Amino acid sequence: MSKHNNSTSSGMMLDLWRPPKDAGDPIGCLATTYTFAPGLFDEQCLARFLEIESEPNREDLAFLLERESRLGGVYAGVLVDHTQAGVEHSLRWDVLPVRIHGGKQHAKLSLLVWNRHIRVIIASANLTEPGYRSNYEVASAVDFSIQDADVGMLVEAVGFLQSLLQLVPGAAASPPEIQRAGTFLKQVLQLVKSWKPAGRDGNVRQQFVFTIPANGAGQPERSSLDEAIQACRRRAGSPSDIWVASPFFDFDEDNCRVATATCKLMARGVERDIRFFVPSVGDEGEAGVPRLAAPKSLLVTPAKYGVTVGVNVLPQEDQDRNRRPWHAKMLGLLTGGYSALMIGSSNFTCAGMGVGRYRNAEANLVTIADRNAYRREAALLESVWPELNPVEDPESAEWLGARPENDEEEQAKTPPLPAGFLSATYRAGDQRRILLRMNPAHLPADWCVYACGQEKPELLNAGRWREGGSLILIDLPWEPAQPPEKLLVKWGDQEAFLTLNVEDASRLPPPPLLENMSADDMLWILAAVDPSAAFRAWTRQQQPSDLFDTDLDSATPVDLDPLRRYDLQTTFLHRIRRRARVLAQLRANLQRPVAGPQSLEWRLRGMIGIEPLAARLALELSRNQVAPDEALLTLADFMIVLHEVDYQPVDGSLSRKSFNEVFQFFLKELVMKLDQSVAPHENKISAEAMSFWKRVVKRCQT
């Protein structure tokens, strides 16, 4: 059985995003949520996944640079319900809106991938501050490693995410964000092909179960309730007792359809019991009568099938009397032979459990433990349930009916974007564009698209679109150097955001402050054993502040401190020795295992990579701070170091052959560009230095 752990602690919830020991380099992550707070995902979840050490609230510039530099070689994306998508986010990662007819993207599954470890987090919590910090939530992490991987479970999780991609508007046209997500999921499946199968624990079994509607691409509809019961039946028959904890229910006053389906799936010929853990509203009414935020059909329906019903009230406060709304969703399935627990995103509703025509996308994890006198797993599963006093007389309770899902999961009241607006893509580079994809059959009669955060926000309106031929793909010029913050669509008296993703993140402009970064600055950061500390040290120089904690830089090796050079004697010999040490460390860093082609490309061509460093070194030839011969010899030493790189792969990393194919092509291309930049300065460089440079060029081209 793959290792797993459950958590309801806010600290532990975020800690599930941290890599375990020996996980290796990050490859990518793809998460799902209903409501969405981009800041939490960016500054808390991604920061832990990438092991970013800068603090966004105290060291905003260092955090920005560290995040930008690390994200370039890593995939990151979020699948979010289309009604909650389009809010401002970093274009370094993708937002993928999911549109489900009659339902919602309600799953909370996160796939975190390092090159030696994979983690799937199943939770009830949305990617929001309340979800991760204040609600009562439940979560479990299922880990897969090179030495212990239940590949079948992982394939199920990846397959679910692939099915969600098909529900993204415009997915059939394969826009860049769909291609990136699809490539990442295929990479995950390829990565685990050689991993060692997991050893089976005969006493405990885990399985992912999903709710999802059918789609036109051949994906059959699925039901979390059916799949959980079937998993139990394969173990030791149908459950005789069921426990249900859910904050929300259907508005069924006479007959609860999901309770009906549940009762029909229970064991026959034995005493059967079902216990509901439901929320309450305010204080108890007159004479201490509980006020239950649930329909009375929960009590009435099971009785029609001979099932005894019990009721408990869910807590809404913690031990310190702080309000903590219950948002966890749990389903207990018990019988004499086993105890099972399903946790995840499914409320006890038809759409959540997969009963009836309209279904959400939901993700859950079922853990089944055999009842064994010598094992504790069954008791541990049952201990997850809160210890609450039961409602003594449920018949006399005040049943207020199902409350609207108006907690943090439903606070956003923006109308859904018309289905005619499929996607928006920002094309970075010298010729900046915004590409809009439309479905003319589902556009309103009058509409306008605005670019937020700009002086001239209007991009396109219905009249101009029709005058241009009512195209499906509209190519609009974009003059500002920076992309728009977000896109807003207005139609009639309504408005909603349109999700904007980037075509190629590697072409996004670097932060303007990087223009102040010298060749020495960049070299010291690239060569640092602790790049995080080096980033913080450099940004402290750019933005002095009394708030900066010097202890944060204690991990920066003295020889790699980008500020230390100002304390050394500025002689030629000192500069040469210093750069020789740093170049040696740079070579060691380049030889480290790399997760995949994308990570390697970013290491070579990224915002703070080998190519921009070479460009800055070449610029020293046209400046007066350094003698031309010294500048050229430094450039030559730099190319010699690159030529001597001896890549050292490990299990799960890019192979030596693949590395060399990319690196050698890059090296030949780079030295050719540098030779062209050196040529205009040949008249001020000594013959001996030029002769040495030409020998280096020839060496790097062979």
Report the 3 state secondary structure along 273-341: EEEEEECECCCCCHHHCCEECCCCHHHHHHHCCCCEEEEEECCCECCCCCECCECCCEEEEECCCEEEE
CATH code at 421-505: 2.60.40
What length does the chain have?
702
Q: Which residue has the tokens 């149908």?
A: 238
The half-sphere exposure of 179 on its side-chain side, counting CA atoms within 13 A, is: 9
CATH 2.60.40 domain span(s) along the chain: 421-505
User: What is residue 42's DSSP assignment?
Assistant: I
pLDDT at 554: 43
User: What is residue 471's DSSP assignment?
Assistant: -
Q: Tell me phi and psi for residue 342, to 5 degrees.
A: -110, 125
What is the C-alpha to C-alpha distance for residues 568 and 255, in angstroms, rounded to an integer?
82
Query: Would you list the DSSP string of 622-665?
Result: GSSSS-HHHHHHHHHHHHHHHHT------TTS--HHHHHHHHHH
What is the C-alpha to C-alpha distance for residues 159 and 109, in angstroms, rounded to an integer?
12
Q: Are 579 and 634 in contact (CB under 8 A)?
A: yes
Listed in sequence order, the DSSP H helices in 433-571 are: 462-467, 519-527, 531-542
- Cα 379 to chain centroid, rounded: 33
What is the C-alpha to C-alpha distance for residues 421 and 489, in angstroms, rounded to an integer?
9
**Distance in Å from the first CA to the final CA of the chain:** 51
What is the C-alpha to C-alpha distance for residues 412 and 27, in angstroms, rounded to an integer?
32
3-state SS class at 9: coil
CATH 3.30.870.10 domain span(s) along the chain: 4-197, 205-399
What is the C-alpha to C-alpha distance for residues 321 and 309, in angstroms, rounded to an integer?
30
pLDDT at 113: 97
3-state SS class at 90: coil
- Cα 304 to chain centroid, rounded: 45
3-state SS class at 562: coil
Structure tokens at 650: 């490990």
Q: Which helix (H) or strand (E) element contains residue 120?
A: strand 117-123
Helix and strand element counts for the chain (H, E) = 21, 24
Bridging pattern class, strands 273-278 and 308-313: parallel
What is the C-alpha to C-alpha distance for residues 25 and 127, in angstroms, rounded to an integer?
24
Structure tokens at 290: 């509980």
3-state SS class at 14: helix
Q: What are the per-10-residue average pLDDT scores of the chain (702 residues)?
A: 42 88 93 95 94 76 80 93 89 95 96 96 96 92 92 96 96 94 95 84 89 84 96 92 95 87 94 94 68 93 94 83 88 94 97 95 96 84 84 91 63 77 94 95 95 82 95 94 91 94 89 79 86 79 56 44 46 66 90 88 89 91 82 92 93 89 95 94 92 94 86
Topology of the domain covering 205-399? Endonuclease; Chain A (3.30.870)
pLDDT at 70: 83
pLDDT at 405: 60
Q: Which helix (H) or strand (E) element contains residue 141?
A: strand 139-145
What is the C-alpha to C-alpha distance for residues 439 and 170, in angstroms, rounded to an integer?
9
What is the C-alpha to C-alpha distance for residues 327 and 3, in angstroms, rounded to an integer?
25
What is the C-alpha to C-alpha distance for residues 8 and 139, in angstroms, rounded to an integer?
6
What is the C-alpha to C-alpha distance for residues 157 and 517, in angstroms, rounded to an integer?
43
CB burial readout 576-595, b (16+ within 10 A) else e: eebbeebbebbbeebeebbb
Q: Which residue has the tokens 């070194």?
A: 617
* 61-64-70 Cα angle (round to 5): 140
Q: Are 415 and 431 in contact (CB under 8 A)?
A: no
What is the C-alpha to C-alpha distance for residues 119 and 523, in angstroms, rounded to an integer?
34
CB contact set of 248 (below 8 Å; sequence gap of 6+): 347, 348, 349, 402, 403, 405
Of 398, 621, 425, 413, the C-alpha closest to 508 is 425
CB contact set of 329 (below 8 Å; sequence gap of 6+): 124, 138, 245, 246, 247, 343, 344, 345, 346, 347, 348, 352, 364
Q: Which residue has the tokens 């219950």?
A: 326
3-state SS class at 29: strand
Domain covering 4-197 assigned CATH 3.30.870.10 in the classification: yes
What is the C-alpha to C-alpha distance for residues 29 and 161, in angstroms, rounded to an integer?
11
Bridging pattern class, strands 398-399 and 291-292: parallel
Region for 275 from its dihedrals, namely left if φ exceeds 0, alpha if ψ lies in -120 to 50, beta otherwise:
beta
What is the C-alpha to C-alpha distance for residues 592 and 617, in angstroms, rounded to an integer?
23
